[in-house]
Amino acid sequence: MFTVAGMIDRYHDKRIFLYPDHIYSKPWHRRSKSIFIESILLGMPTTEFWCEEDNFGAVSVLDGTQRVKCLLDFVNDKFRLEDLKLLPELEGRYYSELPFRHASTLSNRAELYFTTISYDTHPSLKFEFFKRINSDSYRFPIQAARNFAFREHFRFIRNLQDSCSEYLKPLSERSESLSKNDYLSSASFDELYLLLSALTLTFHGSMPDNEETSEDLLDKAAMLIHFEEIDTRVLERKIRSRLRSLSRSGENSISLDSQPRFSKPTAPRLDAQDSIRLSQNQIANLYIYSLKDEVNSISDFYDVLNSSPRISPRSASSYYRRLFR
């Protein structure tokens, strides 16, 4: 538990961090910020903050980023209070303009509850923890939970994307300030590379073909990579080789179309960079046939595209059938 002043001190001492790679937090409007500040000034309890603590005692905020940022901004006079319902006498005031009793209530009396998960918690528990605290979030991507919990897998996937960027790339590059759509697209691209890893591991016998759902298939691959139960250098070489072969057969690089995973694919088309724009399912189907050395020309490339299932399978057995039939 911290006071607002204590939380801000820890932030400036680099003991509290915002915006980890796997988190999206929608910025608040000024009215939402004002309502939150007014609630604290009235003594109302705040929702707890969910964090991960590292081995040095610093915490990364997993849920509550905008509340922390709101407090930081208000104390630094970055916005005025507006549309107040219960404290109209404070309308239009900056923090520095608050009467002493209100400023003291905000800084030294309000209590902020931080619930932390330890850095050495088992990754599988972190995975479930992160999914549950985001269970109410609209269109929350499960891949974000994998990225959070299975860090070695996350690093492998991002390094693999860099090494294969000549052959397979996202529609837009990652940036520091992501919109919601950018965040979802980035998670989809991470998931695509994890799927290619899972298909490669399964095809070469490094992962059993007994998972029930496609999510189980992805979870298993993420854990194998994270716990280094397979040689990731060999896996990277195999994936890069297959993607290079696909790019040559299609006579263009490939980019991932940013559409929901289970939606129907659109017709293949070239984007502004002369890259073939395909859905995750189309790319996965091409990759499966490339693993079997059945995509060796541009006619093979488009034959496989035309035979791709219309939507991504929810069952892992669909992938297994195409891999081994």
Going from the C-alpha of 125 to that of each of 56, 119, 128, 134, 149, the distances in angstroms are 21, 11, 5, 14, 8
For helices 280-291 and 232-250, the axis angle rounded to 10 degrees is 100
**pTM score:** 0.85
CA–CA dist 298, 181 (Å, integer): 32
Stretches where the chain sits below pLDDT 70 are 20-21, 138, 171-178, 258-274, 310
Q: Is 168 helix (H, G, I), strand (E, B) or coil?
A: strand
Q: Which residues neighbour 238 within 8 Å (Cβ) at sequence distance 6 or greater? A: 200, 204
Counting Cα atoms < 13 Å in the Cβ hemisphere of 232 gives 19
C-alpha 80/C-alpha 93 separation (Å) is 5
Look at the alpha carbons of 75, 77, 81, 82 in this order and tell me if their dihedral is positive or negative.
negative
Instruction: Give the C-alpha separation, 6 to 178, whole Å.
Output: 29
> Distance between CA atoms of 111 and 45, rounded to whole angstroms?
8
The helix (H) or strand (E) run that includes residue 278 is strand 276-278
pLDDT at residue 262, as a whole number: 47
For residues 147 and 126, give the distance between their C-alpha atoms in angstroms, rounded to a whole number. Answer: 10
pLDDT at 310: 66
Q: Tell me what pLDDT residue 180 has.
A: 75
pLDDT computed for residue 26 by the predictor: 80
Mean pLDDT of the chain: 89
